[in-house]
Amino acid sequence: MSVAVEPAHTRKDHQKQKPGYVRMKSTRRGVDNPRRSVLLTVLTGIVLIYSLIPLVWLFINSSKTQADLFTSFGLWFSGDFALFGNIGDTLTYDDGIFGRWFLNTVLYVVVGAGGATFLAVLGGYALAKFNFPGKKAVFAVVIGAVAVPGTALAVPTFLMFSEMGLTNTPWSVIIPSLISPFGLYLMWTFASEAIPTELLESARMDGAGEFRTFFQICLPLLGPGIVTVLLFTMVATWNNYFLPLIMLKDPAWYPLTLGLNAWNAQASTAGGEAIFNLVITGSLLTILPLIAAFLLLQRYWQSGLSAGAVKE
């Protein structure tokens, strides 16, 4: 941040002379920017197209029947517009198990991501605002543990959970999702900036207990950070695939990702029915809620990230 010093100094001089100029410039990053660049927009547009084409493909192919899917150009509509038929089939196939998977996923997200956020908020707050024995070790251990490939830990975790009678229950999916190292990191950086230490001091001087201080004074200040962490843990839980694959045997407890993969694999069994159109439509239905959540919560999580990302 050493570069900051000199320009800050020059700014002062100029400000006196041409206040109007500076004022206009200070809004350069606002919505009413005067100099928009077509070239830059086109260049960024390439990345935009790259990002959207697969999603467009997904949408277009959700509108095709199994037969059309195999015989038509991938990036344009063909035959009957079967999207609603496909959605209906997806929701009713195999006694509507898709709905059950959806509810399972919601359960895992609410309890798992909610719990993960709660633990990360508490932990991040502790790292940011307390000096306690073992503090330095905590984050080193967390980062270190994250570096060990999860797939290889799956069997030991499975054997442990099996010993505790947790396999094939929702708990076997929920408990591991309760840990979000990235969430912990975000909350740590966010809390150290969002909560003025003076505020804590005065609360303590007033004799408020640690928990009361946290829940009544600090929690409200952490709002945007909490929403951000919640979003990341939601995505992680919603997209969770590998662990449920190991832990769950009963399709009645599958989350959506596992169910979709099972449908995809179904085409490769003797006597199995190929239902690629339902796999594709199911994929579309799987990502829609997340996209909706992103759009709705946009305002909050972006400000949460801002504070998180700046800390070094």
Partner 1 sequence: MTTASPPPAALGTQPKPAKRAQKRTQKRSWSGWLFIGPFMAVFAVVFLAPIAYSIWLSFFRNQLVGGNGFVGLANYSQALQDSQFWSSLLRVTLFLAVQVPVMLLIALLVALALDSGRLYGKSFFRISIFLPYAVPAVVASLMWGFMYGTRFGLVGNINSALGINLPNPLSPDLILASIGNIVTWEFIGYNMLIFYSALRVIPKSLYEAAEIDGASQFRLVTAIKLPAIRGALVVAAIFSVIGSFQLFNEPAILQSLAPNSISTYFTPNLYAYSLSFSGQQYNYSATVAIIMGVITMVIAYAVQLRGMRKES
Partner 2 sequence: MKSKISPAVLRGSALALAAALTLTACGGGGNDAGGAAPEEVSADDVQAALEEGGDLTIWAWEPTLEKVVEDFEAEHPNVNIDLVNAGTGNDQYTALQNAVAAGSGVPDVAQIEYFALPQFALAESVKDLTGYGAGDLADTFNPGPWSSVQAGEGIYGLPMDSGPMALYYNTEVFEKHGVEVPTTWDEYVEAARALHAADSSIYIANDTGDAGLTTSLIWQAGGQPYKVDGTDVTIDFSDEGSTKFAETWQQLLDEDLLSPITSWSDEWYQGLGNGTIATLATGAWMPGNFTSGVPAASGKWRAAPLPQWEEGGTASAENGGSSLTIPTASEKGALAYAFLDYANVGDGVQTRIDGGAFPATAAALESEEFLNAEFEYFGGQQANQIFAESARNVPEGWSYLPFQAYANSIFNDTAGQAYVSDTPLTEGLKSWQDASIKYGSEQGFTVSE
Q: Which of residues 76-95 bind partner 1 (CB under 8 A)?
A: none
- φ and ψ at residue 14, rounded to 5 degrees: -70, -30
Residue 155 touching partner 2 (CB under 8 A): yes
* CA dist list (Å): 266 to 123, 190, 231, 279, 285: 43, 45, 32, 10, 19
For partner 1, the closer of residues 7 and 95 by Cβ is: 7
* CA dist list (Å): 310 to 86, 121, 138, 303: 45, 18, 22, 11
Q: What is the DSSP letter of 214?
A: I
Residue 110 interacts with which of partner 2, partner 1, none, CB < 5 to 8 Å by class: none
Structure tokens at 15: 């400000």
Binding mask 4-33 for partner 2 (x = CB under 8 A): ------------------------------
For partner 2, the closer of residues 246 and 293 by Cβ is: 246
Nearest to 106 by CA among 173, 162, 167, 183: 173
Burial of 29 (0-12, 13-18, 19+ CB in 10 A): exposed
Residue 51 touching partner 1 (CB under 8 A): yes
Structure tokens at 88: 């209906």
For partner 1, the closer of residues 77 and 182 by Cβ is: 182
Binding to partner 1 (CB under 8 A) within 235-274 occurs at 235, 238-239, 241-242, 256-257, 260-261, 264
CB of residue 72 to partner 2, shortest distance in Å = 10
- Residues 6 or more apart whose Cβ sits within 8 Å of residue 264: 276, 279
Binding to partner 1 (CB under 8 A) within 113-142 occurs at 119-120, 122-123, 125-127, 129-135, 138, 141-142
Structure tokens at 285: 């239905």
Q: What is the DSSP letter of 195?
A: S
- Residue 23 to residue 104: CA distance in whole angstroms: 54
Residue 250 interacts with which of partner 1, partner 2, none, CB < 5 to 8 Å by class: partner 2
Question: Which one of 77-85, 89-97, 106-114, 292-300 is the stretch in contact with partner 1 (CB under 8 A)?
Answer: 292-300
- Residue 176 to residue 274: CA distance in whole angstroms: 33
For partner 2, the closer of residues 266 and 306 by Cβ is: 266
Query: How many Cα atoms are found within 13 Å in the side-chain-facing hemisphere of 141?
Result: 5
Binding to partner 2 (CB under 8 A) within 108-147 occurs at 133-134, 137-138, 141
Task: Count the residues of the shown chain that bind partner 1, applying the rule CB under 8 A.
Answer: 133
Residue 69 is which amino acid?
L
Query: How many Cα atoms are found within 13 Å in the side-chain-facing hemisphere of 193?
Result: 18
Question: Which one of 12-20, 26-34, 84-92, 262-270 is the stretch in contact with partner 2 (CB under 8 A)?
Answer: 262-270
Residue 269 touching partner 2 (CB under 8 A): yes
Binding mask 50-69 for partner 2 (x = CB under 8 A): ----------------xx-x
* Stretch (H or E) spanning 295: helix 276-310
CB of residue 81 to partner 1, shortest distance in Å = 19
For partner 2, the closer of residues 17 and 268 by Cβ is: 268
Residues of this chain that interact with partner 2 (CB under 8 A) are: 66-67, 69-71, 133-134, 137-138, 141, 155-156, 158-160, 162-163, 165, 167-168, 211, 245-246, 249-251, 262, 265-274, 276
